[in-house]
Structure 1
Amino acid sequence: MTVFSIIEKMLFVVSCILNIYIPYIVIKRFLGFRIKPQYVIITMLITGNIPFLIVKELNIESVYQWIPTTVYIFVLSLIFCKGTCLKKLIVTIIYNCFNELIQYITVTVIYISDYIVILNSPVQTQQIRDIVNYLFLITSQLIYILILNFILKNYCIDNGIKDFKYMLFFVVPNVFIVVLLSEYFNFYYKNSNVVDISLFNNLKMMGLACMALICAVLTVTILDKLIKENALRQKEALLAHQFNIQARHYKDLQIQFKNTRAFKHDINNHLICIKNLIANGDIKSTEQYIKKITESFEKLNLKVNTGNPFADAVISEKYNISIDKNIDFKCNVKMLNGIKMDPFDLCVILGNALDNAIEACEKITDESIKKYIHITSTFNKSFMVFEIKNSMQGYIHKNHMSTDKEDDINHGLGLLNIQSIADKYFGTTYIENSENMFELSIMLQVL
């Protein structure tokens, strides 16, 4: 065995490893695995050549060889990965778009390598050509990995996958570009009666493929900007809403403070009246007078006093909404000083959780079911746990939760937003559901 043969086989092995590693990191980084990664790797090592064998056995033309690969990656993601079928399909399309663009850059070098000729040595010529082809194939695979890592590190395209309209912005133009390249390739490389294959056409094909790859990366940057701008708009809207409810909350506090001072000012007069009623033996009037004073005093008590002004503002607003809708609302939330939590995140969690609870209570049509919302908090070491329990009509499985609102793109993200923030604080969410009762527990590491 010659040195050239050894080098060729080594390069072949490296190329095969990279060919498995690339789809592995794509589905891992975008989707995540439901099982241990080593099982996925073993499966890919065993089944990785299936698309190639299908292409070989069915003699599929090169412009359509992406189809078996697409099906293989999609089936792999269905079996081993997390996420919805739509998200898995989009990730598969993303992978194949970039993969096809890299392939069209690589295939031109295979034709260009035909210009390498070693005089009087056809065997060495072929070996050198094979080595050059493998070297460029490996180079293109490494470029693919670098591009992928660059995108995942610097851009939030993964967040955009959750929103279908943003992913259409990436998928549609890039699929269209790949289809055009396929037709161009088919015209120049398959229809030899029209145009002879030349070095110029190879270089032109490579240039077009490189430009298409650059366009795909630019699409990602634009998509990232749109996603971030949308997130910023949502945050600004939430902050504005939070400012408004805090302003109302502080206004209510001022009114309560004013009423408390007035009550304290009048307390001596009330006591004199009670004393005179008792002295006159008018027990019934005394009881009625004391009842009125008690009711007035209860109105002065703060309904929500968590120790955190942001939590107070949000829960107070939801308390008032619940009372207006005849929903029994009980709050036993105490916040410790010095918790390491962004007020924005706290408002998102409490707002979404209580909005969902209010919505569930509103849907109750059975008068025998009491409408209630109970929110409590506990601390366990460095973790804070919110528990929001509410009544509902019927039973809903936690794996089949959705919204029946028309704007389901926006309104269906409540629990996803809560889970996202829980992940940010190294916590989790837990849902318990029984007949006519729903309970959401949110654990956050804040100390």
Structure 2
Amino acid sequence: MEIFLKSLALSLVMSISCKVFFDTLLEKRRWRRGWIENTELLAFTLGIIIISMSEIPPYAIQPIRFTAVICIAVQIYYRVRFVQNVFLSILFCGIFWIVEILTISFIYLLPITGISIQIVEESVSDILLLCLMLLFHFKYKGKTNVMSGTKWTRFLFFPVFCMVIIIAATMYPWNGQGGNEYVRVLVLAGFGLVNMAAFYFLWDILVREAEMQNLRLGRERTQNQMNMYQSMQENYERQRRFLHDYKNQLNCIQGMLAEGKTEETMEYLTALNGSIRMNADHVNTNHTAVNVVLNQKYSYAREKGITMTISVNDLSSLTMGEEDIVTILVNLLDNAIEACEKLESNKVIQFKMTVEDGELILSIRNPVKEPVKIRDNRIATTKPEEGHGIGLINVQSVVQKNCGTSILRCEDGWFFFSAMIPV
């Protein structure tokens, strides 16, 4: 019973460390039954207990077994690609074994018996790992975009290399006797410290690259804002010119009526009404930023021969920042227009933006020339020439920032994007 309680306590500590590590890096899956999300810690604990209570396999199999259990639980509870999951699971297990090696190395230098070493080592290494994961969480919390894209694959060799060396190092028994044993302890301790330093610097590189991505997103938002204000200024100047022209038109109509030219006046008014309709705004949502972007993109799509249907309602209650709204709308509509430009027919964009039951419902649907591959709710390509891949990462970042959810689909030659964001 004592052994079971000890295994349970250590398994719980290890599970918390595992949960903290993956919570820092990955986004959790959303389940219709919310209680499933709360079973994550239980799943990690059960998996680790099964490992600790089962028969010990050969040294080469131990890391593989531990990594597989972690990988399965992560795949269930987090939104992550399989290769990315394997990378992070191996990385976590590598960190765990490095901490364990460092702990063993220092404990073997202490004047205690071999039996005490095993008891102390397990407890100390698990507690140190938890402290390390908590420090990691507080330092990098909120930087889940570090693992976005494929740049992290450049460092895929690092955890695999660490695991191979660790397996080789642990295949020899620890007896604490002989002068060579102390040399071995120092070598392993040095290996562990070097790997921890390497992990820190490699992770720092990924964080800096993620920050560069945020800077690019910030520049895009600034440019979108500038374009929006420029469009508003152009609309204002155009309305001033129209007002000046309409004064002249009214004087002309007055003169024609004074001369009794009724039929000519009616023809003139018909042409004038057509001109007014061509230059009038087509969308009014009671939200300035939305109006500017939608009217601008509607006019641009019409010039390109693209039919754009828009469904909106009163959006005056939106509390989302204008820069976020512009980022979402500009990227979605630009991608849809670009996709339709590649088509020879059926150039249609269906757009919806409404506030319903306290949530912003946003969706866009357009045909595509070639199927868009979607994996884990992301476009499965990094090629800049793929229209739908450009800007969608920024869109999803804005949606997540505002506590919303989004879905991507491509079915029967149509691309779909939909999002729900709390108002």
Q: 1:119 — aligned with what?
A: none
After TM superposition, give the deviation of residue 227 of structure 1 in Å.
Answer: 0.9
Alpha carbons 1:259, 1:300 under 8 Å: kept: no
Q: RMSD value over aligned CA atoms? A: 4.1
One-letter identity of the residue aligned with 1:311: V
- What displacement does 1:87 show? 2.6
Distance in 1 of aligned mates of 2:7 and 2:392: 47
- Provide the C-alpha distance between the structure 2 equivalents of 1:334 and 1:40, rounded to a whole number of angstroms: 40
Q: Which residue does 2:319 correspond to in 1? A: 340
State the identity as a percent: 19
> What is the letter of the counterpart of residue 351 of structure 1?
V
**Aligned 1:349-368 pairs, distance under 5 A:** 349-365=328-344, 367=345
Tell me which residue corresponds to 1:144. Answer: 129
Question: Would the alpha carbon gap of residues 431 and 241 (structure 1) be closer, same or farther in structure 2, given more than 3 Å must change?
Answer: closer
**Post-superposition shift, 1:91?**
2.1
For structure 2, the residue ranges without an aligned partner over 5 or more in a row are none
Instruction: Check conservation: 1:102, 1:209, Cα contact below 8 A.
Output: yes
> What amino acid maps onto 1:56 in structure 2?
I
Deviates more, 1:416-425 or 1:400-409: 400-409
Any conservation in 2 of the 1:427–1:444 contact (CA below 8 Å)?
yes
Equivalents in 2 of 1:393, 1:94: separation in Å? 40
Structure 2 residue aligned with 1:213: 196
Q: Find 2:289's aligned residue among 294, 304, 310.
A: 310
Partners of 2:399 and 2:222 lie apart in 1 by 19
Q: In the alignment, is the contact (CA less than 8 A) between 2:409 and 2:416 conserved in 1?
A: yes
For 1:73, the aligned partner's letter is: I
Tell me, yes or no, if the aligned pair for 2:339 and 2:387 is still in contact at 8 Å: no
Residue in 2 that maps onto 1:121:
none
**Partner of residue 14, structure 1:** 9
Counterpart of 1:134? 119
TM-superposed CA distance for 1:293, in Å, is 1.4
Contact 1:70–1:93 (8 Å) recurs in 2: yes
User: Gapped runs of 5+ residues in structure 1?
Assistant: 117-124
User: CA 1:217 to 1:361, structure 2 compared with 1: closer, same or farther past 3 Å?
Assistant: same
Superposed CA deviations along residues 262-304 of structure 1, whole A, max 9, x for unmatched, are 212321312432564645xxx4x55532332122222342345
CA separation in 2, counterparts of 1:442 and 1:273?
55
Q: State how 1:364-379 maps to structure 2 within 5 Å.
A: 364-365=343-344, 367=345, 369=346, 371-379=347-355
Answer whether contact 2:21 2:137 (CA < 8 A) is retained.
no
Distance 1:357 1:41, change over 3 A: same
Alignment: residue pair count: 414
SS at match of 2:251: helix
The answer (yes or no) to whether the contact 1:90–1:161 under 8 Å persists in 2 is no
One-letter amino acid matched to 2:355: F
Distance apart, 1:17 and its partner CA: 3.1
1:231 and 2:208 matched: no
The alpha carbon displacement at 1:22 in A equals 3.3
Q: Who is 2:90 aligned against?
A: 93
Instruction: Please give the residue correspondences for 1:49-198 in structure 2 after superposition, counting only pairs within 5 Å.
Output: 56-57=56-57, 59-61=58-60, 65-109=62-106, 111-112=108-109, 115-116=111-112, 125=113, 129-155=114-140, 156-165=142-151, 167-168=152-153, 170-176=155-161, 179=164, 185=169, 196-198=179-181
Q: Which residue of 1 aligns with 2:182?
A: 199
| Structure 2 CA distance for aligned equivalents of residues 387 and 15 of structure 1 | 47
Q: 1:90-120: CA deviations, max 9, x gaps?
A: 221321231221122133246445x42xxxx
Assess, with a 3 A threshold, how the Cα gap between structure 1 residues 396 and 50 changes in structure 2: closer, same or farther: same
* Residue 330 to residue 259, structure 1, CA distance change in 2 (3 Å): farther
Q: How far, CA to CA, are the matches of 1:177 and 1:46 in structure 2?
A: 26
Provide Cα deviations, 1:209-248, integer angstroms capped at 9, x if missing partner. Answer: 1342243234323422221122112321331243135324
Q: Distance in 1 between matches of 2:154 and 2:407?
A: 34
Q: Distance in 2 between matches of 1:409 and 1:112?
A: 59
Shift, 1:402, TM fit? 3.6
Residue 28 of structure 2 contacts residue 79 of structure 2 at CA under 8 Å; is this kept in 1? Answer: yes
Distance 1:148 1:403, change over 3 A: closer
Label 1:430 to 1:69 Cα distance change in 2 as closer, same or farther (>3 A).
closer
In structure 2, the residue matched to 1:272 is 255
1:379 is paired with a residue whose SS is strand
> Aligned partners of 1:145, 1:24: CA distance in 2, in Å?
10
1:238-257 equivalences under 5 Å are: 238-257=221-240
Q: SS of 1:197's equivalent?
A: helix
Asked whether the equivalents of residues 257 and 265 of structure 2 are also in contact (C-alpha less than 8 Å), the reply is: yes
Matched residue type, 1:70:
T
Superposed displacement of residue 326, structure 1: 0.4
SS in 2 for 1:48: helix
8 Å CA contact retained: 2:354, 2:360: yes
TM superposition shift of 1:354: 1.2
* Contact persistence 1:97–1:178 (CA under 8 A): yes
User: What SS does the aligned partner of 2:28 have?
Assistant: coil
Secondary structure of 2:331's aligned partner: helix
Verify the 8 A CA contact 1:249 1:316 in the aligned structure 2: no
Q: Does 1:406 align with 2:383?
A: yes
Contact 2:97 2:166 in 1 (8 A): no
Secondary structure of 1:341's aligned partner: coil
Q: Deviations over 1:397-426 (max 9, x none)?
A: 987874778327995364454344333333
**Kept after mapping to 2: 8 A contact 1:329/1:373:** yes
Q: Which residue of 2 aligns with 1:122?
A: none
User: Helix, strand or coil: the match of 2:281?
Assistant: coil
Which of 326, 350, 353 is the matching residue for 2:305? Answer: 326
Equivalent residue, structure 2, for 1:120? none
